[in-house]
């Protein structure tokens, strides 16, 4: 265990799926994290890639998914703040609650971390927390080496955190974790649901029940009605 070290997995979670839980488990197992906050992002509706489900539904599904493991906690910190969610701001807010940078691990998939040079406040954001970067089907650690080789001095095996959890409060690392995760994305899941497909194996049972009960990601009745009137 790494006592006092909190993991944060952010995402649009539209919807949250097995791949997200696999990433969290990989970071938990490799780094010995006691607690991982699942933090749905606030994405303003006018943004180009606006979420399909409301923030309320995305949070509800996140809370239901958190039942999957005792170390998972749904956290609404980003949803309570207006404007787009920037990791730099999220980490700064966590710091005001008493966490030193070396007590936070921000968890991402390789595909997301590969874009980190485009994130708000890069490269300073790397000093605000440790990062755990987990492989995703089709996205191996070689992508990080190829794109972000300049960060190599920060790379560390996950064991380093277990060995010295209370190292220098301001020394942050990038932990590279090679672990299998489910080959699923929210995009493919939404497409399957819109086509009337069965996605039960790709989400947890409570999340699946929520999606079905509320008819999420299916063409809505009002849309169907409009289409009918137009034809």
Residues that bind ligand ATP (CB under 6 A): 11-14, 19-20, 23, 108-109, 111-112, 134, 136, 181-182, 184-187
Q: How far is the CB of 193 from ligand ATP (least distance, A)?
A: 13
Q: How far is the CB of 164 from ligand ATP (least distance, A)?
A: 26
Contact 154, 127 (CB under 8 A): no
DSSP 47-60: STT--SS-HHHHHH
Please, which residue, 159 or 187, has the CB nearer to ligand ATP?
187
Please, which residue, 143 or 167, has the CB nearer to ligand ATP?
143
Q: How far is the CB of 113 from ligand ATP (least distance, A)?
A: 7
Give dist(CA 127, CA 121) in Å, integer.
Answer: 10
**Nearest residue to 13 (alpha-carbon basis) of 60, 45, 69:** 60
Count of Cβ atoms closer than 10 Å to residue 195 Cβ: 8
Q: How far is the CB of 202 from ligand ATP (least distance, A)?
A: 10
How long a stretch of residues is the chain? Answer: 231
Give dist(CA 36, CA 190) in Å, integer.
Answer: 25
Q: How far is the CB of 140 from ligand ATP (least distance, A)?
A: 11
Q: How far is the CB of 120 from ligand ATP (least distance, A)?
A: 15
Please, which residue, 177 or 230, has the CB nearer to ligand ATP?
177
Please, which residue, 106 or 155, has the CB nearer to ligand ATP?
106
**Nearest residue to 153 (alpha-carbon basis) of 178, 123, 180:** 123
- Burial of 105 per CB tally in 10 Å (0-12, 13-18, 19+): buried
The HSE-up count of residue 118 (CA atoms within 13 Å, CB side) is: 6
Please, which residue, 23 or 203, has the CB nearer to ligand ATP?
23
Which three-class secondary structure state does DSSP give residue 181?
coil
Please, which residue, 23 or 129, has the CB nearer to ligand ATP?
23
For the chain, the C-alpha Rg in angstroms (whole number) is 18
Q: How far is the CB of 92 from ligand ATP (least distance, A)?
A: 19
Please, which residue, 20 or 210, has the CB nearer to ligand ATP?
20
């Amino acid at each position: 265990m790494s006592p006092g070290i909190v993991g944060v997995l952010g995402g649009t979670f539209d919807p949250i799926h097995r791949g997200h839980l696999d990433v969290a488990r990989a970071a938990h197992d490799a780094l010995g994290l006691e607690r991982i906050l699942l933090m749905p992002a606030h994405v303003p509706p006018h943004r180009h890639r606006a979420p399909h489900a409301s923030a309320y539904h995305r949070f509800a599904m996140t809370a239901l998914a958190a039942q999957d493991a005792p170390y998972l906690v749904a956290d609404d910190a980003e949803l309570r703040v207006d404007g787009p969610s920037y990791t730099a701001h999220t980490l700064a807010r966590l710091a005001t609650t008493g966490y030193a940078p070396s007590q936070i691990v921000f968890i991402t998939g390789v595909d997301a971390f590969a874009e980190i040079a485009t994130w708000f406040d890069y490269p300073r954001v790397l000093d605000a927390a440790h990062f755990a970067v987990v492989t995703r089907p089709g996205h191996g650690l070689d992508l990080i080496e190829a794109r972000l080789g300049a960060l190599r001095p920060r790379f560390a095996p996950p064991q380093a955190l277990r060995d010295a959890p209370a190292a220098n409060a301001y020394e942050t690392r990038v932990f590279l974790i090679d672990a299998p995760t489910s080959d699923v994305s929210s995009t493919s899941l939404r497409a399957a649901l819109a086509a009337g497909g069965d996605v039960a194996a790709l989400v947890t049972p409570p999340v699946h029940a929520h999606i079905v009960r509320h008819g999420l990601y299916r063409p809505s009745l009002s849309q169907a009605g409009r289409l009918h009137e137009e034809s």
